[in-house]
Structure formats: C-alpha cells, structure tokens
C-alpha cells in the first residue's frame, strides 16, 4: 500500500503505511528484511522528525541482528541509500563505484527490472558528470534489456522510466533539444501504451517538457498541442 500511495502522490499516507510495514518486519522472525524497506522509506525523510524516525528504525534493525543474504535485497537496499545521497547533494563522482558494484550484483542475480532502474540512475549520474559516452552506453544497454529480458506488458512502464531519466541526463550535458525530443518521441509515447492515472513521475516528466521546450526554443502553446496529439495518437 505504501508503494502504491507513493506512486499516487499520497506522501503522508505512504509514509504512515511504510512505517507500519517496517514495524511489522522488525517484529517478524526475519527483522533483517526491514533493512531494504527502511532505505526505501528514507527517500522521503525530508524533515528532521522523519530523519530521526529513520535513524531509530535503522538502530533497531541493527540491534535485531541477522544479515540479509539475498543478493537482490542487498543490492536494492544499497540503491535506495545511494538515491537518497544523490537527492541530498552527494558528489556524483563518489557514487560511481557504488553504482557499478550494484550493477554487477544485479546482473549476476538476473534481476532485470531492477537492473533497468539502476542503469537509468547510472545514466543520470553520467549526465551530471558530463560523461556523454558512458551515458549513451548505459542507456543502450538498458534499452536492450527491456526488449530482451522483460515481458511485453512490462516494457512500456520501464521504457517511460528509462527515457525520462535519459532526458534528464541529456539536459545535464546541455543537449536540450535532444532531451526535449527524447521525452516526446520515447517517454511520452511509452506512457500512452499503459493505463492508469498520471502519477508523480509522469507529472514531473510532463512539467519537464515545458522547461526543456523553452530551452530548446519552443513556445508553450506549441508544446501543449504536441502533448495532446502525442497522447491521442498513442492511446
């Protein structure tokens, strides 16, 4: 429920249910399982009070003992922590070795949907470091995984997530026009292939269209018309 509520933009409800879920894991026979969910929840710890709650849960998880031996859970826990560091302004260069290590773990585990998420993050970091070559290689690898490793119905959401990240990375390397067209020609078209309301990620991407469009020299009216035409054509 916490995951669904986060997707719907219901931040307060998601936090409450996330805390309840972590408490349940800590009270279970496998309290170490709470580690990855605490890391996931920490992405939304944007106030001192919430940060203190996370620190308390982390301490309780450590005190409970046990080691999470599942490779995928361990990798995703580290990814959530890394995303939090990136969100709060960590030096992107310092995150690269951690990202590359998680990529190796998930490739060995064959956890393809999670690996696509990770590669999208790696592309964003490459963009912040102005490394166009690594960004292009990473995006190409993720696109190949989507087409060869994911089920057909799972591809459009993964494509939307990846191409939105690609547009962000392109923006960071100064390729504004290319970033704008990536959102239109890849991300927005992928979004039109699966049902559901517009969640926070989709809304952020739509807002980015206007920002990138302005940087690329398009007026808002033209952008709005193109959004309507694209979504109508792909619905």
- Does residue 223 sit in the same domain as residue 139? yes
- Does residue 115 sit in the same domain as residue 6? no
- Does residue 127 sit in the same domain as residue 177? yes
Q: Which tens digits make up the pLDDT trace of 129-164?
A: 999 999 999 999 999 999 999 999 999 989 999 999
Pick the closest to residue 179 from 144, 143, 205 (CA basis): 205
- Does residue 39 sit in the same domain as residue 101? no
- Does residue 97 sit in the same domain as residue 2? no
Q: What's the CA gap between 7 and 87, in Å, rounded?
A: 18
Tokens of 45: 């710890």
User: What value, to the nearest 5°, has the Cα angle with vertex 45 and ends 101 and 103?
Assistant: 10
CA distances for 186 relative to 135, 165, 166, angstroms: 16, 11, 10
Q: What's the CA gap between 66 and 62, in Å, rounded?
A: 8
Domain that holds residue 198: 70-234
Kindly report whether the global pTM for this prediction surpasses the value 0.95.
no
Total residue count of the chain as it appears in this document: 235
Domain boundary among 69, 89, 122: 69
Q: What's the CA gap between 154 and 214, in Å, rounded?
A: 32
The alpha helices in the chain, defined as continuous H runs, are: 2-7, 11-26, 34-42, 48-64, 71-87, 92-109, 112-128, 132-149, 155-172, 176-182, 189-191, 200-215, 220-234
- Does residue 112 sit in the same domain as residue 196? yes
Q: Which tens digits make up the pLDDT trace of 176-228?
A: 889 888 988 888 888 878 777 666 666 777 777 777 777 777 777 777 777 77
- Does residue 85 sit in the same domain as residue 183? yes
Place of tokens 């046990």: 66
**pLDDT score of 192:** 77
- Does residue 14 sit in the same domain as residue 80? no
Q: What is the CATH number of the domain that holds 220?
A: 1.25.40.10
- Does residue 112 sit in the same domain as residue 23? no
Q: Kindly give, in sequence order, each residue whose CB lies less than 8 Å from that of residue 158, ignoring residues fewer than 6 positions away.
A: 113, 116, 146, 150
Q: Are 195 and 231 in contact (CB under 8 A)?
A: no
- Does residue 106 sit in the same domain as residue 6? no
Q: Are 53 and 23 in contact (CB under 8 A)?
A: no
b/e code 147-178 from CB counts within 10 Å (16+ = b): eebbeeeebbbbbbbbbbbbbbbbbbbebbee
Q: Which tens digits make up the pLDDT trace of 57-72?
A: 988 888 876 555 577 7
Residue 12 confidence class, pLDDT cut points 50, 70, 90: very high
- Does residue 48 sit in the same domain as residue 125? no
Q: What's the CA gap between 32 and 28, in Å, rounded?
A: 9
Tokens of 98: 């951690």
């Amino acid at each position: 429920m916490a995951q669904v509520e986060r997707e719907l933009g219901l931040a307060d409800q998601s936090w409450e249910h996330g805390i309840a879920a972590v408490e349940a894991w800590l009270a279970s026979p496998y309290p170490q399982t709470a580690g990855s969910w605490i890391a996931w929840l920490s992405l939304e710890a944007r106030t001192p009070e919430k940060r203190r709650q996370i620190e308390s849960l982390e301490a309780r998880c450590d005190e409970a003992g046990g080691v999470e031996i599942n490779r995928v859970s361990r990798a995703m826990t580290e990814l959530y922590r890394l995303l939090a560091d990136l969100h709060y302004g960590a030096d992107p260069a310092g995150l690269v070795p951690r990202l590359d290590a998680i990529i190796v773990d998930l490739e060995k585990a064959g956890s393809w949907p999670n690996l696509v998420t990770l590669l999208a993050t790696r592309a964003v970091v490459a963009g912040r470091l102005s490394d166009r070559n690594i960004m292009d290689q990473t995006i190409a690898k993720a696109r190949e995984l989507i087409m060869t490793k994911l089920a057909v119905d799972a591809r459009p959401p993964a494509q939307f997530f990846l191409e939105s990240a690609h547009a962000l990375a392109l923006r960071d390397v100064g390729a504004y026009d290319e970033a704008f067209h990536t959102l239109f020609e890849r991300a927005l078209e992928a979004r039109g292939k699966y049902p559901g309301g517009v969640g926070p990620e989709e809304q952020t991407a739509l807002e980015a269209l206007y920002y990138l469009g302005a940087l690329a020299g398009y007026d808002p009216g033209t952008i709005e018309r193109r959004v309507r035409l694209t979504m109508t054509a792909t619905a």
